[in-house]
Copies of this chain bind each other. A is one copy, B any other.
Amino acid sequence: MTDTRRADAEAKAHILAEAMPYIREFSGKTVVIKYGGHAMDSAELADHFAQDVVLMRLVGMNPVVVHGGGPQITDLMQRLGKEPEFIDGHRVTDAETVDIARMALVGKVNRDVVVSLNQHGSYAVGLSGEDAGLIAVEQRDPRLGFVGDVTAIDPSILHRLLREELIPVIATIGMDESGQAYNVNADAVAGAIAEALGAEKLVYLTDVEGVYANFPDEESLIAQIDADGLEALIADGRASAGMIPKLTSCVQALRNGVSRAHILDGRVPHALLLEFFTREGIGTMVSGDIRPTGEMT
């Protein structure tokens, strides 16, 4: 072995060894990951994501993936000659639209995520919130049509799949008591599922670096904050509009037993591995207890 190769090899080995205490810490823990944005659009990042999630499964963690797919719904609607309409940022969803949403989310986005994960091992199973009573909803507002708010999560199907060491991938279609399908906000679903599973962690992959103290001032990126802090941010109007559903879901999940939440930059390759298996935390961590600032970017 040449000296250079030896040095390279040593560097590699140290990085692997560095992961050991984290693997030990997270073994057997459940992590709910809201997947979306650039990390889902880019073929390369999507493959990185798949590698990361499979690696988490392989080292004994229980990852659960939740995804929506607004752009894909819009795209299919337009191909079918139907113009999307929004009220206060919520898609107006008539019976035909919820059918289209289902085709786009379950028949396209969910499939692509499952296939991508299964390129690295046969672990992923696609689910819709309609399966086995997983996501129960009620109508948010008659004007929006079939847009639902989560009323209950029945995690038993997830427990069964996790017991068989499979990776659930959940498309966020919910069902009301009559069996009618609804489109549901994926950020809210991720939080509710984390809560129902008593997850160790709830992770949002986003297209920003994290949470900013003074959005959009990039210097104001917050490394760590707690649930009270997040609530203050939202109350003060300092949070960006797009971030609010995530932050609200974080707060609720943390108030109900989830240990920690993370807002990660999904544009960073292998963001999950970096967060879980290296000293370099990335993005914003939300918890009740502050770790020393020095540890964070």
Contacts and interface: CB of A to CB of B under 8 A. Distances in A.
Interface string A49-60: 001101100111
A166 interface: yes
Interface in A240-285: 268-271, 273-274, 277-278, 280, 282
| A contacts with B: majority SS | helix
Interface stretch (A3-11, A29-37, A200-208): A3-11
Given A23-B55, A209-B1, A111 B130 contact: yes
Interface string A185-198: 00000000000000
A20 B131 contact: no
B131 A118 contact: yes
A212 to B, nearest CB: 14
B16 A16 contact: yes
B122 A157 contact: yes
Contact of A59 (B21, B54, B58, B125): B58
Interface string A6-27: 1011101111110111011001
Interface of A: 1, 5-6, 8-10, 12-17, 19-21, 23-24, 27, 48, 51-52, 54-55, 58-60, 76, 79-81, 99, 102-108, 110-111, 114-115, 118-128, 130-133, 154, 156-157, 160-161, 163-164, 166, 173, 175, 179, 181, 209, 268-271, 273-274, 277-278, 280, 282, 297
The 10 closest A-B pairs by CB, nearest first: A107-B107, A13-B270, A103-B107, A122-B132, A160-B164, A103-B103, A106-B107, A20-B55, A122-B133, A23-B58
